[in-house]
């Protein structure tokens, strides 16, 4: 049985999620290259990749994918990084995620359903383009 989590670890994890959100790619990559898991997940099931995608941080998305972040992870709301990138209309992040093999139909709130619900025609075209 494990004990309580060290508050310093919690603080560092929060900082890492903020680095992903705000696109501080170089600093985040330094942590990843030092051994922080690319699939670090918060208490809502959000990964670093999903947060970077949701905040439209395409260079951070690319760096996370290059370091093995799992584009197929689904958060507690049924969302994927691809759905988040579609919602933010980040064509570059959508392209990187699709190139990495992300599935537009995965998740309870899939990327395709997100594009359709919000009438994001350009995103639907990206999702439907041949790969």
Q: Is residue 105 part of a domain?
A: yes
Number of domains in the chain: 1
What gap in Å lies between CA 65 and CA 120, rounded to an integer?
Answer: 24
Cα Rg of the chain, angstroms: 15
Query: What counts of helices (H) and strands (E) characterise the chain?
Result: 8, 0
- Say which CATH number the domain at 90 has: 1.25.40.20
Q: Is residue 1 part of a domain?
A: no
Q: Is residue 25 part of a domain?
A: yes
Q: How confident is the prediction for the chain on average, in pLDDT?
A: 96
pLDDT, tens digit (0-9, with 9 covering 90-100), for 38-60: 999 999 999 999 999 999 999 99
Q: Is the pTM of this model over 0.85?
A: yes
Q: Is residue 2 part of a domain?
A: no
Domain extent at residue 35: 7-128
CA distances, 111 to each of 7, 14, 74 (Å): 35, 26, 12
């Amino acid at each position: 049985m494990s004990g309580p989590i060290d508050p310093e670890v919690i603080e560092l994890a929060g900082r890492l999620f903020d680095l992903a959100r705000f696109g501080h790619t170089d600093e985040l990559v330094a942590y990843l290259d030092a051994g922080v898991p690319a699939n670090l997940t918060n208490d809502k099931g959000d990964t670093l990749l999903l947060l970077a995608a949701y905040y439209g941080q395409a260079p951070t998305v690319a760096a996370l994918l290059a370091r093995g972040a799992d584009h197929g992870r689904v958060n507690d709301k049924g969302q994927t990084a691809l759905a988040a990138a579609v919602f933010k209309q980040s064509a570059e992040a959508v392209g990187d995620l699709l190139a990495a093999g992300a599935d537009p139909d995965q998740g309870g709130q899939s990327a395709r359903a997100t594009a359709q619900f919000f009438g994001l025609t350009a995103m639907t075209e990206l999702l439907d383009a041949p790969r």
